[in-house]
Amino acid sequence: MAGERRIGGGTRLAGVIGWPVEHSRSPQMHNAAYATLGLDWAYVAMPVEPARLEQALRGAAALGFAGLNVTIPHKQATAAICDELSPQARRADSANTVLMLDGGRLRGETTDGQGMLDAIGELPGPGALVLGAGGAARAAVAALADAGVAVTVSARRREAAEQLARELGARATDWPVGDAPELIVNATPLGQAGEAAGLPFEAGLLDGRVVCDLAYRGDGAETGLIAAARERGARGVDGLDVLVRQGALAFRLFTGAEPPIEIMRAAVRNATIA
């Protein structure tokens, strides 16, 4: 068939690992970008149990993968496994992108924080509240703090929030929260299935804020947090917007080519997940 894509021995491989990973729209996004630029690359999603993470990373290097993206719950563990880390990944103690170097060495990078900032655009004020204390939260706090934002962290486990805040120059607050600054970032999986229940604040706290939800639903519908934000007149930045910006940065790291962002955005928005 004319125009049919062929995958052969010279095809470069990349992918995303997580547990679970079936909801990921990264394959559609990256493969659309490869096709647009005529690159002989292929990108796949692979579920990896936490106990087999290092085997998966080392195995991908042995198989000749160019790189992997990493999602929940592997980001902090991946940073500990990598042979070297970018300054941003070291500061966040989190890696969502791994480059396979000569000799099978693994270099951990993070596109979480910068991808979030790119998706938000102009920051709405001097303060931000970050919900969560995992790998995505660490990257978000580090990026915001490095941008000069005063960051407050709230997590279900107060000790985890306090440790993150202490290490990254933020401050910890209670869960649930009673107040919020101009920007709210959800870096927890809460709402990924579509429910806003469980998020640690009343809906009225969203009024006049910018709300960024790093989670996204597999069916592409709005998360409960983004839906609630829009109902309250807040500006919502959803996880698919962030995914595109993170993906564009990873695409550049993997291929060295300039990412076709609008193609990637359309592929993410229009993807059909089985």
Q: Name beta bridge partners: 152.
A: 129, 171
Rounded to the nearest 10 degrees, how much is the dihedral formed by the CA atoms of 140, 143, 149, 150? 50
Taking the CA atoms of the chain, what radius of gyration do you get in angstroms?
Answer: 18
Q: Name the token pair of 162.
A: 């306090």
- As averages over each run of 10 residues, the pLDDT of the chain (274 residues) reads 71 97 94 98 98 98 97 95 97 96 97 97 97 93 97 96 97 93 92 60 90 88 88 94 98 98 95 61
Spacing of C-alpha 46 from chain mean position: 16
Predicted local distance difference test score (pLDDT) of residue 2: 41
Who contacts 93 (Cβ-Cβ below 8 Å, separation ≥6)? 76, 79, 135, 138, 167
Question: How many angstroms separate the CA atoms of 106 and 41, rounded?
Answer: 20
DSSP code of 258?
P
Spacing of C-alpha 231 from chain mean position: 25
Predicted local distance difference test score (pLDDT) of residue 1: 36
- Taking the alpha carbons of 109, 112, 117, 120 in that order, is the dihedral positive or negative? positive
Taking the CA of residue 25 as centre, how many other CA atoms within 13 Å lie in the half-sphere pointing to its CB? 27
Predicted local distance difference test score (pLDDT) of residue 201: 79
Question: How many angstroms separate the CA atoms of 67 and 12, rounded?
Answer: 10
Predicted local distance difference test score (pLDDT) of residue 273: 57
Reference 137, options 152, 120, 123; nearest CA is 152
Q: Name the token pair of 22.
A: 């079936």
Taking only the tens place, the pLDDT of each residue in 18-46 is 999 998 999 999 999 999 999 999 999 99
| 75 given a catalytic annotation | yes
Q: Of residues 25, 30, 74, 75, which has the active-site annotation?
A: 75
**Contact between residue 30 and residue 61 where contact means Cβ atoms under 8 Å apart:** no
Cβ atoms within 10 Å of 129's Cβ, excluding its own = 24
Q: Name beta bridge partners: 186.
A: 131, 213
Question: How many angstroms separate the CA atoms of 20 and 242, rounded?
Answer: 19
* CA angle centred on 244, ends 111 and 46, rounded to 5°: 75
Full DSSP string of 55-99: HHHHHHHHTT--EEEE-TT-HHHHHHH-SEE-HHHHHHT--SEEE
**Contact between residue 83 and residue 90 where contact means Cβ atoms under 8 Å apart:** no
Predicted local distance difference test score (pLDDT) of residue 191: 63
**Contact between residue 208 and residue 130 where contact means Cβ atoms under 8 Å apart:** no
What are the structural domains, with CATH classification, of the chain?
12-110+241-270 (3.40.50.10860), 113-237 (3.40.50.720)
Taking only the tens place, the pLDDT of each residue in 45-95 is 999 999 999 999 999 999 999 999 999 899 999 999 999 999 999 999 999
Predicted local distance difference test score (pLDDT) of residue 196: 53
Residue 257's φ and ψ, nearest 5 degrees, are -100, 160
